[in-house]
A = this chain, B = another copy of it.
Amino acid sequence: MVNRSGRLSGKRVLVTGGAGMLGSAIAHLAHREGATVTILDALLPLYGGNLFNLSNIWDEITFVQGDIRDRVIVDRVVTGQDFIFNLAAQVSYVDSNSDPQLDIDINCRGIVNVLDACRQFAPRARVLFSSSRFVYGRIESNPVNENHPFNCLSIYGIHKLVGEKYHRFFFEAYGLPTTSLRISNPYGPRQQMKHGKYGITNWFIRQAMDGNPLTVFGEGVQKRDYIYVDDLADAFLVVALTPQTAGETYNLGSGQGSSFLEMTHTIAANVKGTEVRQVEWPKDRYFVETGDYVADIGKLQTATGWQPSVSLQDGIARTVEYYRLHQEHYW
């Protein structure tokens, strides 16, 4: 395991999309470890950015409201950074399919803006990219390792794949030390709770807290690899501090498969009176991915020694607790 004690102290850290769930978790962690943190976030309506996510550290960070599609602002914020967490994105696979051009604009053009700005103004910065299990699309066998075919079933998944390729290209062509992490099913405090276009675990937590039943299609046996946001943030920092991960791509998940029904019942157990309702699969659900997904995280563990530490039970309990305390900032 990477000993990162003190290694972020005095370092300059930029988090794009830093007002979102994962970005704000990384910002909190980096700040706690002594980094000078800058956040770039466009705060687009109905996206994940929420300034309340940064309220604990607001006075000690630099917040820039800006969009990765704006090259001028990107150039300015990357200059002088030691670590760049390249997270800003369109994150709904549903929206990516209904508006592919918007997804190109943010998830291709915006990502290249960040990388090209790094090449020019922060050529030695460690750059980490938040990719996704969606690059795999239709799963052929579990657990899934990094050599699984890319059977992308969404424009979002396609553009996460292209994002990885951009990061690899800037490493190969310009020596920019980039790493991509393919995140499984993240959940936890500080995700937006306005809609359920992504982040079904959090969305079910909201439904339960609102007194609504949780609807499970079919048997609910499909497995997912749920990972708590603090584990993700920890992994991002560990990878950032492991130079030999430059140029590589890793799965990042819990490595454990839990059924959809188990996730649902765990939420119900934490929100008294929640009904779990099982109904038949609707017809014509192309856009719902139904197969199992469990990440093989062996490559990441071998490279860094990182381990997830929060169980699904604990993670859901903490998430429910967080939103109970801060519901008014998210509903």
- A contact residues vs B (CB 8 Å cutoff): 97, 100-101, 104, 108-109, 112-113, 116, 147, 149-150, 152-155, 158-159, 161-162, 165-166, 168-169, 172-173, 286-287
- Contact at B154–A158, with CB atoms within 8 Å? no
- Kindly list chain B residues whose C-beta atoms are within 8 Å of the C-beta of A162: 108, 158-159, 161-162
A234 CB to closest chain B CB, in angstroms?
30
- Give CA–CA (A173, B155) in the complex, Å: 10
Chain A facing B: main interface SS: helix
A99 CB to closest chain B CB, in angstroms?
10
- Give CA–CA (A97, B149) in the complex, Å: 26
Quick one: which of B116, B147, B149, B172 contacts A100, CB cutoff 8 A?
Answer: B116
- Contact at B161–A165, with CB atoms within 8 Å? yes
A186 CB to closest chain B CB, in angstroms?
23
Quick one: which of B97, B104, B169 contacts A155, CB cutoff 8 A?
Answer: B169
- Kindly list chain B residues whose C-beta atoms are within 8 Å of the C-beta of A112: 100-101, 104
Given the known A-B contacts A104-B104, A162-B158, A162-B159, are A152 and B168 also in contact in the complex, defined by CB atoms under 8 Å? yes
- Contact at A104–B100, with CB atoms within 8 Å? no
Interface centre among A104, A113, A161 (most CB of B within 10 A): A104
Q: Write 10 A-B pairs (CB below 8 A) sorted by A numbering.
A: A100-B166, A101-B113, A104-B108, A108-B108, A147-B149, A152-B165, A152-B168, A152-B169, A155-B169, A161-B161
Interface centre among A149, A168, A169 (most CB of B within 10 A): A169
- Contact at B152–A158, with CB atoms within 8 Å? no
- Kindly list chain B residues whose C-beta atoms are within 8 Å of the C-beta of A116: 100
A180 CB to closest chain B CB, in angstroms?
13
- Give CA–CA (A271, B100) in the complex, Å: 49
- Give CA–CA (A287, B173) in the complex, Å: 8
A59 CB to closest chain B CB, in angstroms?
37
- Give CA–CA (A158, B164) in the complex, Å: 10
- Contact at B286–A173, with CB atoms within 8 Å? yes
- Kindly list chain B residues whose C-beta atoms are within 8 Å of the C-beta of A168: 152
